[in-house]
């Protein structure tokens, strides 16, 4: 058998999209000239306009990161009591509920796309439930129709954690147009980024002012502070990187689509390795390529593959392990209620 040499360069799960340095210098120069570094300057204004067009959404507000955006979305929608969400996600989703003194009620995921199992949501609704917060895990849209129907029937709000979903479309509609609010993360590890950053998209104009106040200390004017907001503004440098990366994103998605095809072609006949099927009515962004490793069939378990790949300088991740097993804010609930999530966190490997 041919011996494989370790890669000379370290291969990480993700590398940030980097615009050409000369263009970055030009942008910094513009910011310097303007002497306006943060608090809704020209870069912020242009980025917001361009991004809104790109994402094809009605309303959009920018934030310094996705986590604070999510926390403030919950405040703006005035959520109370219990929120039904998924145990299979990054800690930011669930932590945001705790930050707002809301109780997460975990609904198990389905094994097909690792998203919340919409068929189980209704059983978890009580008189204390105020919202559903699904996550479109790894850029795969949830069962949107069913979730919206349940929300309408029970008068619940829906906040989608769309952190992985930049530019994704479902049945020809932009993903950010569903639910009451969707949150996008623009962290450096995301396919589209502003170093750190995030956005909320929504259809209700009334939320626009609320988001502005919540991220800007609640200041309405020089002489009026009307709510106890925080500081979650996107600064000019973040917005400038966003503008530059918007010029690169379509090419990047094409590149990742091609890589996805190459992975699939090479892994398709390996027994014990499974990857996600593409849904016909989704336009993906190909940000991640998660695989499931079935130890019995593959002869090695996920952790062994993870360690072995490190020897070749390939650094995969076990997202979202060990969250719903070890993280006390999950296990405090009865973890027997989400067997599928517990199974997937032991088999998943992201490249
Ligand atoms: N909801 C969901 C479902 C999310 O996945 C996230 C974030 C959020 C909410 C919250 O959004 P933000 O507040 O972050 O906007 C990373 C990211 O920090 C996090 O944003 C992301 N999800 C999560 C899935 O991944 P870590 O702890 O795994 O990142 P880290 O530092 O280990 O980086 C991963 C790899 O990327 C490294 O091995 C090397 C490479 N890397 C990383 C950075 C930061 C680079 O090559 N360059 C870099 O600058 O969380």
The set of protein residues with a Cβ atom below 6 angstroms from ligand 1 is: 12-16, 65-67, 89-90, 92-93, 135, 161, 163-164, 185, 187-189, 198, 315, 319
What is residue 138's DSSP assignment?
A: G
* Ligand 1 center from residue 190 Cα (angstroms): 7
From 90, 133, 345, give the residue whose CB has the most ligand 1 atoms within 8 Å, as the site to mutate.
90
249-258, long-range: CB < 8 A, 24+ apart: 249/17, 249/54, 249/166, 249/167, 249/191, 249/192, 252/17, 252/191, 252/192, 253/167, 253/191, 253/285, 253/286, 256/191, 256/285, 256/286, 256/287, 257/284, 257/286
pLDDT at 324 (0 to 100): 77
Q: Which two tokens stand for residue 167?
A: 């530019």
For residues 162 and 184, the answer to whether their CB atoms sit within 8 Å is: yes
The pLDDT, as a whole number, for residue 4 is 86
Atom of ligand 1 nearest to the CA of 197: 15
351 residues of the chain, pLDDT tens digit each: 678 899 999 999 899 999 999 999 999 999 999 999 999 999 999 999 999 999 999 999 999 999 999 999 999 999 999 999 999 999 999 999 999 999 999 999 999 999 999 999 999 999 999 999 999 999 999 999 999 999 999 999 999 999 999 999 999 999 999 999 999 999 999 999 999 999 999 999 999 999 999 999 999 999 999 999 999 999 999 999 999 999 999 999 999 999 999 999 999 999 999 999 899 999 999 999 999 999 999 999 999 999 999 999 999 999 988 787 777 777 666 777 889 998 999 999 987
Distance of CA 220 from the midpoint of ligand 1 (Å): 33
| Residue of 91, 54, 57 whose CA lies nearest to 71 | 91
Residue nearest to atom 30 of ligand 1 (CA): 189
Atom number, ligand 1, closest to the C-alpha of residue 70: 9
**Of all helices (H) and strands (E), which one includes residue 95?**
helix 91-99
Pairwise CA distance, residues 157 & 315, whole Å: 38
Residue nearest to atom 5 of ligand 1 (CA): 90
C-alpha closest to that of 68 among 186, 164, 157: 186
C-alpha of residue 254 to centroid of ligand 1, in Å? 22
Nearest CA residue ID for atom 11, ligand 1? 66
List the residue whose alpha carbon is closest to atom 31 of ligand 1: 189
The residue contributing the CA closest to ligand 1 atom 38 is 12
Question: Residue whose CA is closest, atom 14 of ligand 1?
Answer: 187
CA 276 / ligand 1 centre spacing (Å) = 21
Q: Whose CA is nearest to atom 17 of ligand 1?
A: 189
Q: How far is the CA of 139 from the centre of ligand 1 (A)?
A: 15
The pLDDT of residue 323 is 80
Q: Report the separation in Å between the CA atom of 144 and the middle of ligand 1, taken as the mean of its atom positions.
A: 25
Note the pLDDT of residue 332: 66
How far apart CA 79 and CA 100 sit, in angstroms, is 9
């Amino acid at each position: 058998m041919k011996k494989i040499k370790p890669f000379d360069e370290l291969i990480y799960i993700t590398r940030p999209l980097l615009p050409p340095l000369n263009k970055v210098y030009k942008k910094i120069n513009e910011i310097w000239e303007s002497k306006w570094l943060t608090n809704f300057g020209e870069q912020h204004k242009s980025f917001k306009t361009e991004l809104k067009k790109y994402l094809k959404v009605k309303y959009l507000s920018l934030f310094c990161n996705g986590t604070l955006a999510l926390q403030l979305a919950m405040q703006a929608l005035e959520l109370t009591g219990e929120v039904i969400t998924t145990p299979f996600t990054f800690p930011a989703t669930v932590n945001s509920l705790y930050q707002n003194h809301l109780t997460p009620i975990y609904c198990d995921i389905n094994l097909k796309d690792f998203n919340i199992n919409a068929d189980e949501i209704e059983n978890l609704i009580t008189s204390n439930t105020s919202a559903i917060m699904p996550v479109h895990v790894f850029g795969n849209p949830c069962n949107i129709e069913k979730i919206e129907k349940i929300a309408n029937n029970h008068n619940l709000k829906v906040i989608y954690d769309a952190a992985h979903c930049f530019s994704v479309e479902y049945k020809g509609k932009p993903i950010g147009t569903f639910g009451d609010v969707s949150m996008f993360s623009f962290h450096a590890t995301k396919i589209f980024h502003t170093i750190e950053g995030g956005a909320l998209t929504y259809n209700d104009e009334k939320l626009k002012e609320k988001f502005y106040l919540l991220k800007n200390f609640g200041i309405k004017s020089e002489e009026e502070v009307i709510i106890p907001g925080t500081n979650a503004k996107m600064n000019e440098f973040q917005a400038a990187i966003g503008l530059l990366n918007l010029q690169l994103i379509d090419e990047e998605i094409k590149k990742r689509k091609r890589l996805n095809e190459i992975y699939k072609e090479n892994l398709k006949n390996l027994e014990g390795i499974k990857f996600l099927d593409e849904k016909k009515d989704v336009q993906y962004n190909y940000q991640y390529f998660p695989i499931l490793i079935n130890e019995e069939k593959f002869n090695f378990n996920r952790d062994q593959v993870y360690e072995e790949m490190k020897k070749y300088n390939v650094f995969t991740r076990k997202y979202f392990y060990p969250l719903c097993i070890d993280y006390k804010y999950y296990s405090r609930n009865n973890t027997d209620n989400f067997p599928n999530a517990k199974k997937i966190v032991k088999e998943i490997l992201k490249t």
